[in-house]
Structure 1
Amino acid sequence: MRGIVGFYITYLLCLILGIACVVLVVHWNFMYRDGFAWDGSSKNFNWHPVLMVTGMLVLYGNAVVVYRIPLTWGHNKLPWKLLHAGLLLLSFIFSVIGLCAVFNFHNVHHTANLYSLHSWVGICTAALFTAQWVMGFTSFLLPCTPMAVRAFVKPTHVWMGAMILVLSIVSCISGINEKLFFVLKETTNGTKPYSALPPEAVAANSLGVIIVAFGLVVLKILSNQMWQRPEPGDDEGVYRPLAYDGS
């Protein structure tokens, strides 16, 4: 049973870190960046980090580990496919709104779009995520898709899922750092510089550390062969979790 217990401890940590990410990013933008609006101001921009962290990281990370939950093993896979696809669709919607927020802010202030390394990595991540969702929907949810196609696509689908999570982490932490360099400048707005590590920098840096921790926990769940959902035809079948009592 240690394999199952180990999973649920790790999964609980995943949930706690995901909630902490959302709470911290909202706290940062509400307490230190004046809150939220949709008026082209800096408050408009504040939706961007909140929605991207919530969508592209937390919702996405939880979506990719749905199949690893042992309670789902031995049951009809379709409801879990729908939950997986639904969480990813919600993640996609949050991400699109988050991108609209930053583009709207830039356009109102006549700031160039997509000029930084953060924006390049971020837009590539969003594009790959879109392609991944479409590929997953057409390959695994459409009943007319042949099983041979599903078997062929699955390894790429799984690999891309992990790579998109890694790119999301990179996008988030680079975006946090970029934002802090922009706003924490003593000479321009009276705040303490980033190098002085004011409370806002501590909060945002802490968010970045928790984002990395969340991503590492999700990748741990994905990489552990013990926690893979048994497929039809596996020798161990639905009893696979009990086969790891001594591990």
Structure 2
Amino acid sequence: MFLPVSLFLKSVSLGFLSVVFVCLWSGIWRGGFAWDGSFLQFNWHPVLMVTSLVVLYGNAIVLYRVPLHWSRWSCKVCHAGLLFLALVLSMLGLCAAFDFHHANNIPHLYSLHSWTGISTVALFSLQVEIALWFGGFCVFLMPCAPLTFRARMKPLHVWTGVTIFIMSLITSISGINEKLLLTLNGRNGSHAQPYSALPAEALFANSLGIVLIIFGLVVLSILSRHKWKKPGFDDETDRPLLIDTR
């Protein structure tokens, strides 16, 4: 049984809405974008991190349940491609933040948001570049790999993927809150209404946080339904990763 098309479209729409919201927040209320060490450079950070570690990553981990008649190989390549693109964009997002801090003599990694964020990217990098990226090529992309070895690797791959996604959501929500507290309470050169007065920017950014939470719940709901797993392939050259006896 495939994932219902309506739920898939809801997931895609919420992801797209999240990207639109964070772009509008950075572009309208925070002044736009640049790469010159100013506050405008920092505006790339939330855009790139939400796009990569939440939206692209969320779509990558539900790809095998999407109601598209792709071959197993096509799903594998698209899954790996989305993860690689997410990794590249997340690295650019980190560069935007660290370079901005360095240019303005702001300490690095002092907040809980920064701790969870750097941990998330580090775990993601470990998964993609070292442990499971190499393992994914040798174990999942190569059809000759023993099924018993695949069966041992897949639970770790799935658990790590879900963990990174949840950590990404936590980091994004805490980052939105931290940015609002800093910008609306007289820091970062802001003279706007305080956060407690719930000005338009705070209302919009809080709404972004709610959209991200709903998107995350939809993705986790899709992952929790085993009946939406794609059925196995009969062709031995395009066989499934596991022999699922359920």
**Equivalence for 2:243:** none
Aligned-pair identity in percent equals 48
**What are the residue-to-residue correspondences of 1:79-158 with 2, within 5 Å?**
79-134=74-129, 135-142=131-138, 143=142, 145-158=145-158
1:40 to 37, 46, 49: 37
Q: 2:26 aligns with which of 4, 29, 37?
A: 29
Which amino acid in 2 is paired with 1:224?
R
Per the TM alignment, residue 64 of structure 1 is displaced from its structure 2 partner at its CA by 0.7
1:169 aligns with 2:169: yes
CA 1:53–1:169 in structure 2 vs 1: closer, same or farther (change >3 Å)?
same
| Offset at residue 225 of structure 1 (A) | 1.1
How far does residue 164 in structure 1 lie from its aligned partner after superposition? Answer: 0.8
What root-mean-square deviation, in Å, do the aligned CA atoms of Structure 1 and Structure 2 show?
A: 2.0
Q: Does 1:18 align with 2:15?
A: yes
Which residue matches 1:230? Answer: 231
Secondary structure of the residue aligned to 1:34 is coil
Separation in structure 2 between the aligned mates of residue 98 and residue 130 of structure 1, nearest angstrom: 14
Q: Name the structure with the higher helix share.
A: 1
* Structure 2 counterpart of 1:208: 209
Letter paired with 2:224: S
Does the CA contact (< 8 Å) of 1:70 and 1:227 recur in 2?
no
For 2:195, the equivalent position in structure 1 comes to 194
In 2, are the aligned partners of 1:55 and 1:91 still within 8 Å (CA)? yes
Question: Aligned residues, how many?
Answer: 230
Q: Is the 8 A contact 1:7 1:221 kept in 2?
A: no
Distance 1:221 1:215 in 2: 10
- Compared with structure 1, are the counterparts of its residues 186 and 192 closer, same or farther at alpha carbon in structure 2 (3 Å cutoff)? farther
Q: Secondary structure at the match of 1:189?
A: coil
Deviation, structure 1 residue 159: 1.1
Q: Match of 1:11, as an amino acid?
A: F
Which secondary structure state, in structure 2, belongs to the residue aligned with residue 70 of structure 1? coil
Tell me the equivalent position of 1:241. none
Change (3 A) 1:232 1:158: same
Unaligned runs of 5+ in 2: 241-246
Deviation at 1:211, TM superposition (A): 0.4
- Give the alignment's TM-score, normalised by structure 2: 0.88
Conservation of the 8 A alpha-carbon contact between 1:51 and 1:97: yes
- For 2:66 and 2:42, how far apart are their aligned partners in 1? 36
Q: Counterparts in 2 of 1:66-77, with a 5 A limit?
A: 66-72=63-69, 76-77=71-72
Matches of 2:12 and 2:212, distance apart in 1: 12
